[in-house]
């Protein structure tokens, strides 16, 4: 009996030391649809390839390398933070990587409180890389709130509030529109309209994000093509479109799917429904036929099939169950598409997380519900699930409502699977 109790104690301590309240894989969305099958092992493999190729550490810092491997963009740091907070579990152990990326961001902040957009390795701001890019700040702040929910450390919430304050002061203009950066505002970038992040900000910040969200949708409705639904790379605040559906704009359907999967945002659903209706017709329901660099009227100017476009336009289908086959086929097509650059590969990971139900808002009273086959491949440790009741019938954790309010300080589920070591 003593040996059995000791074994249970060791298992429980080992499990709780991992620290993730919402470990990968989650395999669920709050609104809309995801892939039919559990594809978490594929997401894991895609993540590992990206990590080995683009993640670099130096002492207490880490960065995501750009296509010029000697440089890093603030966007990449923020993308990396989002990926790390979603991928954490007993195997991936990503919290330390998250912290190192965040330290890098903070090291290269300017006087406005946001990171300069391009950095040379770990040393200094690159030539032409001064001042911030708002998409990076919005993503990084969202990642910090998720980190607070994932790991329960108040420092992430505090850091998120500080960064959100800097965004509000320097990257939202007097009319309540998102600026492209802290130091300029002569045009707008629809792919920076991160509705999901701004909805999330309301859980920790009291500024009027509802106005910014409303303005973002108003402008999107002006500039998206009336037939295809495609947004431009750049536009004016009064709705004049500057470019076609290029490398910037391809992120819009992903951001709309993100907002809908977290909050059920109807305006995001309307935008993506028009886009997916067009692209399914244009490709005869075959995501492998998605091409690149479209005009707003839907004419491709490049025939390359790449992960940035295939995955982005696949995400548009997540808002309605009638697109289930499109989402399933598109997930596979995204994995098999060209991902030979930092941008394509990083978006491939982010798309894969969202499409599979693993880009989590990290809410609810559930604790760890199971281990996927991915988590059972821990090197040098044989593992299997063991159902166990603790003395207090609860397992430590923090849980949050959709509004971000902390609900309880310990798990409400009385029976939890643990790893048994022997």
Find how far residue 195's CA is from the centre of its chain: 12
Q: In the beta sheet, which residues pair with residue 73?
A: 118
Gyration radius of the chain's alpha carbons = 21
State the pLDDT confidence band at 367, using cuts at 50, 70 and 90. Answer: very low
Contacts of residue 350, defined as CB under 8 A and 6 or more positions apart, other chains included, come to: 79, 82, 83, 254, 359
Q: Which CATH architecture has domain 22-361?
A: Alpha/alpha barrel (1.50)
Q: Give the per-residue pLDDT at 365.
A: 52
Task: Quick: pLDDT tens for 199-232.
Answer: 999 999 999 999 999 999 999 999 999 999 999 9
Which position has the higher pLDDT, 287 or 372?
A: 287
Task: Quick: pLDDT tens for 80-116.
Answer: 999 999 999 999 999 999 999 999 999 999 999 999 9
CB-based contact 84:96 (threshold 8 Å): no
CB-based contact 358:85 (threshold 8 Å): no
Give the separation between CA 76 and CA 65, rounded to whole angstroms. 8
Q: Give the per-residue pLDDT at 238.
A: 97
Q: How far is CA 164 from CA 103, 125, 208, 297, in A?
A: 17, 22, 12, 36
Among positive and negative, which fits the CA dihedral 183, 187, 191, 192? positive
CB-based contact 79:63 (threshold 8 Å): no
Q: Give the per-residue pLDDT at 10.
A: 37
Q: Where exactly are the structural domains of the chain?
A: 22-361
Q: Give the predicted TM-score (pTM) of the model.
A: 0.87
CB-based contact 172:192 (threshold 8 Å): no
Tokens of 338: 């060209």
DSSP 8-state symbol, 128: T
Residue 422 has pLDDT above 60, yes or no: no
Q: Give the per-residue pLDDT at 252.
A: 98
Question: Exposure pattern of 175-200 as b/e (b: 16+ CB <10 Å)?
Answer: ebbbbbbbeebeebbbbbbbbbbbbb
Average pLDDT, the chain: 87
Q: What is the mean pLDDT of residues 280-287?
A: 98
Residue 413 has pLDDT above 60, yes or no: no
């Amino acid at each position: 009996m003593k040996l059995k109790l000791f074994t249970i104690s060791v298992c429980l301590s080992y499990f709780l030391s991992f620290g993730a309240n919402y470990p990968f894989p989650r395999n669920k969305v709050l609104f809309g649809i995801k892939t039919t099958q559990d594809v978490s092992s594929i997401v894991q493999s895609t993540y590992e390839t990206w990590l080995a190729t683009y993640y670099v550490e130096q002492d207490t810092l880490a960065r995501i390398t750009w296509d010029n491997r000697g440089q890093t963009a603030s966007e990449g740091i923020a993308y990396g933070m989002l990926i790390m907070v979603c991928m954490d579990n007993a195997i991936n152990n990503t919290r330390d990587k998250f912290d190192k990326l965040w330290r890098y961001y903070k090291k290269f902040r300017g006087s406005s409180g946001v990171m300069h957009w391009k950095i040379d390795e770990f040393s200094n701001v690159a030539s032409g890389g001064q001042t911030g890019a708002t998409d990076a700040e919005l993503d990084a702040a969202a990642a910090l709130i998720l980190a607070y929910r994932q790991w329960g450390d108040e420092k992430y919430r505090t850091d998120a509030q500080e960064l959100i304050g800097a965004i509000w002061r320097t990257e939202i203009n007097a009319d309540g529109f998102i600026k492209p950066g802290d130091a300029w505002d002569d045009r707008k970038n629809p792919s920076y309209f991160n509705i999901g992040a701004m909805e999330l900000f309301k859980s920790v910040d009291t500024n009027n994000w509802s106005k910014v969200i409303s303005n973002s949708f108003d402008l999107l409705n002006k500039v998206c093509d009336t037939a295809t639904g495609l947004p431009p790379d750049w536009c004016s605040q009064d709705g004049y479109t500057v470019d076609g559906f290029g490398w910037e704009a391809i992120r819009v359907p992903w951001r709309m799917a993100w907002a809908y999967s977290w909050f059920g945002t109807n305006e995001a659903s309307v935008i993506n429904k028009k886009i997916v209706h067009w692209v399914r017709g244009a490709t005869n329901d075959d995501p492998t036929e998605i091409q690149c660099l479209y005009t707003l009227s839907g004419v491709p100017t490049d025939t390359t099939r790449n992960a940035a476009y295939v995955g982005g336009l696949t995400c548009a289908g997540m808002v309605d169950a009638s697109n289930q086959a499109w989402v399933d086929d598109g997930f596979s097509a995204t994995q098999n598409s060209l991902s030979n650059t930092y941008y394509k590969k990083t978006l491939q990971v982010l798309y894969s997380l969202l499409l599979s139900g693993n880009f989590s808002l990290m809410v609810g009273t559930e604790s760890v519900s199971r281990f996927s086959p991915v988590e059972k491949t821990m090197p040098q440790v044989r593992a299997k699930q063991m159902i166990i009741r603790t003395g207090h019938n609860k397992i430590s954790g923090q849980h949050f409502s959709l509004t971000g309010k902390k609900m309880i300080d310990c798990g409400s589920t009385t029976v939890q699977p643990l790893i048994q070591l022997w």
